[in-house]
Amino acid sequence: MTGIGGFFEIEKDLRRPEDCHPGARALSSGRGAFRAVLEWVKPQHVLVPFYTCDALLQPLRLLRIPFSFYELDATLSPREDLALAHGEYAVVINYFGLKSQEIFNLAKHWGRQVIIDNTQSFFDGRAGEAYSFNSARKFFGVPDGSFLYAPEPLALDPPENTDISMEHLLKRAAGDLPGAHQAFQAAEDRVNSEVKGMSRHSQDTLRRIPHHFARERRRLNFAQYELAFTETNTFPARLSPGAVPFCYPLMPQMKIDRRLLHAEGIFVPTFWPELAKRKETGFDFERRLARDLLPLPLDHRYGPDDIGRVIEVVGSFLTPGQHSPLGSVSDWRL
């Protein structure tokens, strides 16, 4: 069983080279790109959405930069207007690849005081005068990779990232899911916020991936989910023209134990379980989102039959009497 969802196997369908992010700096990881921006702008204070992973907070803590959390509304937009003082910056996240237009408007308004986290929106490029970075590992079968956009040339000359492992990519391609999962966790543990250049392997692979196909397949898969779940999804998941989704965010009225999906070979991650352990009060909506939202897989590996299978399995657990209380989060995380 190869399974649907979870981390990637090594990319096989490679074409003639073409640049996917011309004009961007090719670095090894999103958190390393974020750290490079922080070291460049030297902010006095940073606003960060509470609904984010601890990996994004790592560079802030390492550099001892003061930060505070802000709340989101039901559409994952800032609940209140961002009022940025001099020397203050705001991180805005392109959640699920569905917030591009709104974030572009924020970037037009606040300019260089905005840092865009596009780790869930790989195909978005430069946004006005804002800083932005993405993550290749979340979209393709590569061991590292992030493209950083900045409004001015950054004085960066980082060494190439040579500390990469492709064991999990190869094992998953070979169908060894247990071995691949173990290797994936080991590879994830090695990722840090050190500023390094993207590995040569990832740069070459990313240039040869059929990006147009990957974009269109994601959009088509999203549309298939939308047709099936519009009536039962309590989250406003809408795909704007040109947007390339990261997943289909499903917030069903009934809670579904991820272990039930895992048992069916469908691996649905949790964004982000660490929210439950944070000591800050409030942020009830964000904590519920982290606990209950199901990011259904839709990447370029899957076609209509695969998405149809996910719809069938998920739909079966939405039938009264066939679901169980939400249990522990799945280890198949991104």
Identify the CATH number of the domain in which residue 287 sits: 3.90.1150.10
Number of domains in the chain: 2
Question: Does residue 327 form part of some domain?
Answer: no
Q: Supply angle C-alpha 290, 292, 293, rounded to 5.
A: 75
Give the integer Cα–Cα distance in Å for 330 and 246.
Answer: 19
Quote the domain boundaries for residue 217. 211-317
Give me 311's structure tokens.
């719809």
Residue 23 burial (C-beta neighbours within 10 Å; 0-12, 13-18, 19+) = exposed
Question: Does residue 328 form part of some domain?
Answer: no
Say if residue 80 is in the same domain as residue 126.
yes
Q: What does the pLDDT read at residue 314?
A: 96
Say if residue 245 is in the same domain as residue 284.
yes
Q: What does the pLDDT read at residue 205?
A: 94
Say if residue 71 is in the same domain as residue 188.
yes
Say if residue 22 is in the same domain as residue 83.
yes
Say if residue 17 is in the same domain as residue 61.
yes
136: domain CATH number is: 3.40.640
pTM of the model: 0.91
Query: How do residues 62-118 score in pLDDT, each as one tens digit?
Result: 999 999 999 999 999 999 989 999 999 999 999 999 999 999 999 999 999 999 999
Q: What does the pLDDT read at residue 313?
A: 96
Select from 172, 187, 208 the last residue of a domain: 208
Say if residue 168 is in the same domain as residue 63.
yes
Give every residue of the chain whose pLDDT is below 70, as ranges: 1-2, 6-17, 320-334
Say if residue 219 is in the same domain as residue 178.
no
Helices then strands (H, E): number in the chain? 10, 11
Question: Does residue 322 form part of some domain?
Answer: no
Q: What does the pLDDT read at residue 17?
A: 59
Select from 208, 223, 250 the last residue of a domain: 208
Question: Does residue 100 form part of some domain?
Answer: yes
Q: What does the pLDDT read at residue 11?
A: 67
Q: Do residues 240 and 100 make contact, with C-beta atoms less than 8 angstroms apart?
A: yes
Say if residue 243 is in the same domain as residue 297.
yes
Select from 208, 238, 268 the last residue of a domain: 208
Question: Does residue 199 form part of some domain?
Answer: yes
Q: What does the pLDDT read at residue 122?
A: 97
Q: Do residues 91 and 51 make contact, with C-beta atoms less than 8 angstroms apart?
A: no
Question: Does residue 103 form part of some domain?
Answer: yes
Query: How do residues 185-210 score in pLDDT, each as one tens digit?
Result: 887 888 888 999 999 999 999 998 99
Question: Does residue 271 form part of some domain?
Answer: yes
Q: What does the pLDDT read at residue 5?
A: 73
Q: Which residues contact 41 (CB under 8 A, 6 or more apart)?
A: 89, 112, 131
Question: Does residue 326 form part of some domain?
Answer: no
Residue 157 burial (C-beta neighbours within 10 Å; 0-12, 13-18, 19+) = exposed
Say if residue 45 is in the same domain as residue 137.
yes
Say if residue 117 is in the same domain as residue 236.
no
Say if residue 175 is in the same domain as residue 237.
no
Q: What does the pLDDT read at residue 173?
A: 83
Say if residue 188 is in the same domain as residue 248.
no
